[in-house]
Chains A and B, each alone.
Chain A
Amino acid sequence: MLELIPVLLISITIVFFMVRLAPGGPFTSEKSFPAEAIERLNQHYGLDKPILVQYGNYLLNLLKGDLGPSFQYPSRTVNDIIKETFPVSLELGALAMLFALSIGLLAGIVASLKPNTLQDHMPMGLAMTGICMPSFVLGPLLILVFGLWLGWFNASGWELPSDRVLPVITLGAAYAAYISRLTRGSMLEILPADYIRTARAKGLSEATVIFKHTLKNALLPVVSYLGPATAGILTGSFVVETIFNIPGMGRMFVLAAFNRDYTLILGLVVFFSLLVVVFNAVVDILLGLLNPKLRMHA
């Protein structure tokens, strides 16, 4: 966890100076306003101070947990925005991950039990399609079928519980596909192992053999993949959030970059960096629990 501090400091420094290199600023707008109005805004946000002073002030405020005011949404602070949008992204991400895991594991196991038969080719073919199909194709396709033709779901929004269905499938599909291929691969490696043969020879039921003995070991690569996948799901949900108009953090991040909302960009970078480090730590712990060899090394 100590690696967090240099990682954060480096990301903040790079982003702090890079966003200011982009042409235009937070107050550049189509209708230009009197110089005195822009001057007042710069003063108000401390943008009239030398850049190193601004940088120092940012770090000092960060130590107090204050990510500053948003330039684009001036009556809201970055902390307010994260507080409002993160739960949405978390819910979307968690549901998508749950979907990806349940579908992915099931398909992987089913396929691995009868390799190179229809039972293998069908889910793996679907998985290949899932991996290849980008969310900006899958999302509108699902809306077309289930929203417009069948009228079962809303095309956008995050109001009703049913509004979760299509975005979760759209976001989770590619991950489900990847997990299913990972599971199949590692299951096929482990199924011929000696200890599995021993388990079968002991007369254990097929379910016990698969779920208790095979899957536990086959899960290791899947679990290692979960760390980056969870971070990816949380940070990469921008496309899905835009298609379905979901008030999450991914959409905010991209909007912030377009709006040159310096503090919001930085605040979200800090938050995302924290998330990635935390998820990686959680995965390390999980791997330790699953694999006694790793525990021994630790």
Chain B
Amino acid sequence: MMLKKITSLACTLLLISGCSRRETPVQIGNREQILHRNAGSEPKDLDPQTTTGGVESLIQDALFEGLVAWEPDDTDPHPGVAERWDISDDGTVYTFYLRPNARWSNGDMLTTHDFVFSYQRLFSPALGAPYAYMHYVIKNAEEYTKGDITDFSQVGVKALDDHTLQFTLKAPTPYFLRLVRDRSAYPVHPATILKFGKIDEPNTKWTHTGNLVGNGPFMLEYWQTNRKIKTVKNPYYWDAKTVRLKEIHFYPIEDVTAEERAFRTGQLHITKETPSERIQFYRQNHPDLIRLDPLLGTYFYELNTTKPPLDDVRVRQALAMALDREQIVKHICKAGEPAAYNLTPPDTAGYTSRAKIEYDPAKARKLLAEAGYPNGKGFPKMEILYNTHKAHMGIAEVIQQQWKEALNIDVELLNMEWKTYLAMKQEHKYDIARASWIGDYIDPSTFLEMYITGGGNNNAGWSNKNYDALIQAAGSEMDQVKRFELFQQAEEILMMEAPIIPIYYYHNKALVQSSVKNWMPNPLDRHPYKYVYLEADE
């Protein structure tokens, strides 16, 4: 009897002691400067030159640093590995001066020759770097990438000495500094690349645990597939004294609900998203935890202009004018996203489009009648194609309803999984499709170049010679005022012709613990980790 009592008491004590409220990773992290951030999915790779996704970029920002860098509260280019730079009067020669104390995470000196090696790798035909084309503004870069020339010394990237790097451009490129801030222009460590393969050999194991050498404020401790990427402070970083975090742990949680639960149980400092049904809750109850900041991106509908009736500009305009976007952002988006009436988000590097396609159902009906469909009579049945997501479905349903009410036309909804949706769009097997675009760098060109004739991302199949000419002229215009005027005219044509219907501008919707300091809004969701630190509230 006695034994039974002692056993049950021991069991109870064990249960109580084992199951007490634990100290969460966030609490430990706050004390020890360990940041826990969800990356949103498993990165494809950590090679900055062969990856294109946002998931990879937010980890690469910890491991590498470009010539030009970000500051927490400013979108202008600031000195990174380069301490300063000169630009020639004609805007075609950029000379960067590297910091003499810049080093790799293994202690090696970082020199301009490493940058030349990195650009040679980026433009190597066999590497197939998907973002090499973004840097075609550099003299002969395109020719080298396409294999037309094989001598890299003809490409406009030169090491004048160990610390002076010179770029020669094809034409003046006012956004060149923003371009060299892109992760595809991050330097890679030549000895490491060559240890695991040839300079142009893709997909070697140089980015794996124990192999990766970078030049960022943090270095890779380990990378466990689908589990965690742990980075620790890089003691050789030129500005290590500024870095306050000791570690950053990146997680690959894809499911937004699971991510939010991990945030609530104190496992994450920063999430990638907020589930749409929880946005209202956080806005009302924990406004200090939810960050709804403008993102450089637009949500829009693309119209397949290669087939009737959408090859008729009047039909496209009618559809665009019949949309009450304010209703959509108010009732479906809920994160304060502004309704969009043009493609380029407002104040993109100082550019705000004056083109606007207004909500005007009466005019829309008139246009549709002129196109031969009075009161929607005889209008063929069309489908709205979107990829599986609750929010996309919600928006498509509202639009279906609004077009029915305003124009008396019937459209159906077509929900497809991601790759099928992409394939259908790219093969023009759709009528109307949900689309979005997040800028690669802060400049209107990253949006407007999309709709040039035959552009790889012009899934509307739209073509306009005047538009193409304006975009091309803007590409070589050095005077920013004149250049923006060319973009204004181009965007007016785009909105007038309506191959796309802008719906809203994106907002970033991250949950951030109040202990995270120096985490500032950024239109490309880029946050220089070296300034971030953790401080628990009293």
Residues in A lying within 8 Å of B, measured CB to CB: 22-25, 28-37, 39-41, 44, 69, 72-76, 80-81, 84-85, 88, 140, 143, 147-148, 150-159, 162, 242-245, 247-248, 251-252, 255, 258-260
Instruction: Pick from B43-51, B335-343, B398-406, B496-504 the stretch touching chain A.
Output: B43-51
Instruction: Pick from B102-110, B124-132, B358-366, B463-471 the stretch touching chain A.
Output: B124-132
Chain B residues within 8 Å of A140, by CB = 257, 261
Cβ-defined partner of A84 (8 Å) among B202, B203, B225, B253: B225
Task: Number of B interface residues at 8 Å Cβ cutoff, please give it.
Answer: 58
Cβ-defined partner of A74 (8 Å) among B45, B131, B206, B436: B45
Judge whether B231 is part of the interface by a CB distance below 8 angstroms: no
A40-B126, A74-B45 given; 9 more Cβ-contact pairs under 8 Å: A40-B128, A74-B50, A74-B203, A75-B206, A85-B225, A152-B20, A242-B255, A258-B417, A259-B419
Whether B456 contacts A252 by the Cβ 8 Å rule is no
Chain A residues within 8 Å of B281, by CB = none
Given A31-B52, A84-B224, A148-B261, are A75 and B420 also a contact pair (CB < 8 Å)? no
A127 to B267, CA, bound (A): 33
Given A155-B265, A158-B227, are A73 and B42 also a contact pair (CB < 8 Å)? yes
Whether A258 contacts B419 by the Cβ 8 Å rule is yes
Cβ-defined partner of B262 (8 Å) among A25, A162, A245, A258: A245
A150 to B44, CA, bound (A): 36
Q: What would be 6 A-B contacts, judged by CB atoms less than 8 Å apart? A: A37-B132, A73-B44, A150-B21, A151-B22, A162-B22, A245-B253
Distance from A76 Cβ to chain B, minimum over Cβ atoms (Å): 7
Distance from B502 Cβ to chain A, minimum over Cβ atoms (Å): 17
Whether A40 contacts B125 by the Cβ 8 Å rule is yes
Judge whether B280 is part of the interface by a CB distance below 8 angstroms: no
Chain B residues within 8 Å of A148, by CB = 261, 264-265
Judge whether B426 is part of the interface by a CB distance below 8 angstroms: yes
Whether A73 contacts B258 by the Cβ 8 Å rule is no
Whether B457 contacts A24 by the Cβ 8 Å rule is no
Chain A residues within 8 Å of B127, by CB = 40
Chain A residues within 8 Å of B126, by CB = 40
Chain A residues within 8 Å of B19, by CB = 150, 152
A259 to B258, CA, bound (A): 21
Whether A245 contacts B424 by the Cβ 8 Å rule is no
- Give the residues from 190 to 231 in chain B that come closer than 8 angstroms, CB to CB, to chain A: 202-208, 224-228
Whether B258 contacts A34 by the Cβ 8 Å rule is no
Distance from B364 Cβ to chain A, minimum over Cβ atoms (Å): 30
A60 to B203, CA, bound (A): 22
Given A69-B203, A243-B258, are A156 and B132 also a contact pair (CB < 8 Å)? no
A91 to B369, CA, bound (A): 66
Whether A23 contacts B424 by the Cβ 8 Å rule is yes
A197 to B203, CA, bound (A): 70
Chain A residues within 8 Å of B227, by CB = 88, 157-158, 247
Whether A247 contacts B21 by the Cβ 8 Å rule is no
Cβ-defined partner of A22 (8 Å) among B125, B128, B419: B419
Judge whether B178 is part of the interface by a CB distance below 8 angstroms: no
Whether A74 contacts B424 by the Cβ 8 Å rule is no
Whether A247 contacts B225 by the Cβ 8 Å rule is yes
Cβ-defined partner of A75 (8 Å) among B203, B418, B419: B203
Residues in B lying within 8 Å of A, measured CB to CB: 19-22, 24-25, 42, 44-45, 47, 50, 52, 125-133, 145-146, 202-208, 224-228, 251-255, 257-258, 261-262, 264-265, 267, 417-420, 422-424, 426, 436, 456-457
Chain A residues within 8 Å of B131, by CB = 33
Whether A24 contacts B208 by the Cβ 8 Å rule is no
Chain B residues within 8 Å of A22, by CB = 419-420
Distance from A67 Cβ to chain B, minimum over Cβ atoms (Å): 15
Cβ-defined partner of B258 (8 Å) among A23, A40, A245, A258: A245
- Identify the 10 closest CB pairs spanning chains A and B, nearest first: A24-B419, A40-B128, A24-B423, A151-B21, A247-B227, A32-B456, A247-B226, A74-B203, A23-B423, A155-B261
Given A33-B456, A75-B204, A150-B21, are A156 and B426 also a contact pair (CB < 8 Å)? no
A72 to B225, CA, bound (A): 12
Whether A152 contacts B22 by the Cβ 8 Å rule is yes
Whether B419 contacts A23 by the Cβ 8 Å rule is yes
Distance from B379 Cβ to chain A, minimum over Cβ atoms (Å): 28
A269 to B424, CA, bound (A): 27
A258 to B205, CA, bound (A): 24
Whether A143 contacts B261 by the Cβ 8 Å rule is yes
Whether B133 contacts A75 by the Cβ 8 Å rule is no
Given A37-B129, A148-B265, A154-B265, are A74 and B202 also a contact pair (CB < 8 Å)? yes
Given A148-B264, A156-B262, are A260 and B419 also a contact pair (CB < 8 Å)? yes
Whether A75 contacts B207 by the Cβ 8 Å rule is yes
Chain B residues within 8 Å of A150, by CB = 19, 21
A147 to B204, CA, bound (A): 40
Whether A29 contacts B52 by the Cβ 8 Å rule is yes
A72 to B44, CA, bound (A): 6
A33 to B423, CA, bound (A): 14
Whether A33 contacts B419 by the Cβ 8 Å rule is no
A85 to B224, CA, bound (A): 9
Chain A residues within 8 Å of B21, by CB = 150-152
A73 to B203, CA, bound (A): 9
A81 to B24, CA, bound (A): 30
Closest to A27 in B: B130
Closest to B41 in A: A255
Distance from B37 Cβ to chain A, minimum over Cβ atoms (Å): 14
Closest to A40 in B: B128
Cβ-defined partner of B457 (8 Å) among A31, A152, A157, A248: A31
Whether B267 contacts A155 by the Cβ 8 Å rule is yes
Whether B258 contacts A242 by the Cβ 8 Å rule is yes
